[in-house]
Structure 1
Amino acid sequence: MKALVLAGGKGTRLRPLTHTSAKQLVPVANRPVLYYGLEAIRDAGVTQVGVIIGDTGREVREAVGDGSAFGLEITYIPQAAPLGLAHCVLIAQEFLAEDPFVMYLGDNFLVGGITDLVDAFRGSGHDAQLLLTKVAEPQFYGVAELGPSGEIVSLEEKPAHPRSDLAIVGVYIFSPAIHDAVRAIRPSARGELEITDAVTWLIDNGYSVHSHMVSGYWRDTGRLQDMLECNRIVLEDIEPRIRGTVDGASEVSGRVVVEAGASVRGSVIRGPAVIGAGARISGSYIGPYTSIGDGCVVEDAEVEYAIVCEESTVRGVSRLAYSLIGRNVEVVRAQGMPNALQLMVGDHSRVQVRA
């Protein structure tokens, strides 16, 4: 079995971060979301992985390399434009050959891995197996309708009146039959080859398409609140360790990681929290569910329930919470008069202030 990991796309819901960075590399607990998916694939016993890359391909290549750090063999497959999930299968056929494969959306976050899914598929005789989970608002997802034996009998994309509450998670397993399906379908109204159309083709042509329920936590990390929630879930399970320096004037409590080269001076850190390598925390409060990236500087500030990416500075800010701060960003208190907010904000941003 092989794997096909999708690491292209535009990441429009996480702009402006994703104007300049791959959405799959936005960090959860100081590690890119993509890393968790690659490790889940390896843990399921799959080592040959094709990675679909787009405009941010250079950054993905630099972060993942040849895959040896994960125990994987990586083959990069460029996609000239984001033309749909089924198009990814179409352009990867040479790599996939006649092997069954896992297709994993690189911006999905799944606690518990995919080993159960892979094991259930092996020897099952199914031509496709889709990972599903129950959701409160199925009208915002691709939705599956099941038959009495767990077979998938129909799929709908963001239906106004869903036939079930079972959303399609971004993990699929296919037999080589999917190659016939992606060649047979036509682009949708939005100009993309939809994987739901390909799976529907399999169903309509008598192939066996089955379901598998998510046993753990799942999120599509396309929105700020999803990123922060994934960060919280991972931090809940971290093992505390202090590899950097914490002075006697500081208080560290709960599950806290202070990586090598980081320094904490005259500060309070209440876990779960991670302080990245080389970061400097001075005269500050770092509250629960916070990840401070490598090389960051936090001075005379309070940060809680937030993700601060590497090499960023937060200085003189009385309270920063429920926030995602990108790389090489400065968040500082304005000096002098007038007492006004001074902002330089990129396209597709959102700024929330208290007057």
Structure 2
Amino acid sequence: MTVSDVPDASAPLRSIHTNNFPVLLNHLGISLIVSTYQAGKVVLIRADGATLNTHFRVLQKPMGLATDNNGRMAIGTSAHIWEFRNVPAAASKLDSSGKYDACFLPRNIHVTGDIDIHEMAWGHEGLWFVNTRFSCLCTQDPDHSFVPRWRPYFVSAYAPEDRCHLNGLELVDGSPKYVTALGTTNTAGGWRENKADGGILMDVTTNDIIVHGLSMPHSPRWYRNQLWVLESGKGNLALVDVSTGKIEPLIQLPGFTRGIDFYGPLAFVGLSQVRESAVFSGLPLTEQLTERTCGVWVINIETQEILAFLKFEDAVQEIFSVQVLPNIQFPELFTEENELLRSSYVLPDEALAEVEFSYSPP
């Protein structure tokens, strides 16, 4: 496994990666999208032949990402939820090379207010998201900032106080099932006092706490009939025995683990350097590692081996979410108005039969 230094065209958005990272993406026929709220960017990670292309788009404090098999994508930002749709016909207009196979165009921007939105997922009832500031799970409707649907039993009311730092969310069979939080506290910012070992993993459907004593847990995931979690404060990926609550670390990584998605036997895990601040002080990770890394690590969960990595340098220091885009190898995403948005029209199929296509030179 060798490393290639591939700086982005607009330094200091630099990255290095192992030579086999683009090979893996090409072989699997996938790409990745990553959010970094600290740098105010979403990053499309795509193989461009034998090299890895990191394509940055600007959003204000992007955190939660949600995608589905119907071409939908949602991104939670500082005070909004952006919803995108893949418009394959627009991809063919991007250039003459034919390498673009997806183009995500914005369809709706929903104003939530500053709710410190964390993980998100599409389910049977639409988009679910973690409202960390109000310590609850929410859905959306056109008339309200958010619709509270569930909160932990130990949080007594909805208040913009981040009482337990509810952060991670996993849906099973289209409905919320597992969440993580950094504490079981019921006071404003109360989780901060015992952040090193006060974290929990909880079952939403039963209101049972499955695991206590976690170090800043994030990103619960149900995959291959097993429950996975990132114990970020220790920098690991772990398995959870749902029946006993026993947690088994699978692999240790050189950063604050946050954001994960799976594809086949591979886990794509986000790593952050974590700042030397009050929020991250006193963690096992910061005490054990003086140098920590930001990027995406690829793990074979069957062999527990690190297969490849992408390491960000300079401006990008923290990752929040990582999502695999299956069957999409070279996507584009637009977050600002441009000529393609102005000239792309998506109509219902039944209306297309009555559309007349004509062109008048300007």
Q: With structure 1 as the length reference, what TM-score do the two structures score? A: 0.28
Q: TM-score, normalised by structure 2?
A: 0.28
Q: In terms of Rg, which structure is larger?
A: 1
Structure with the bigger RCO (C-alpha within 8 Å, sep 6+) is 2
**More helix, by proportion:** 1
Greater strand content: 2
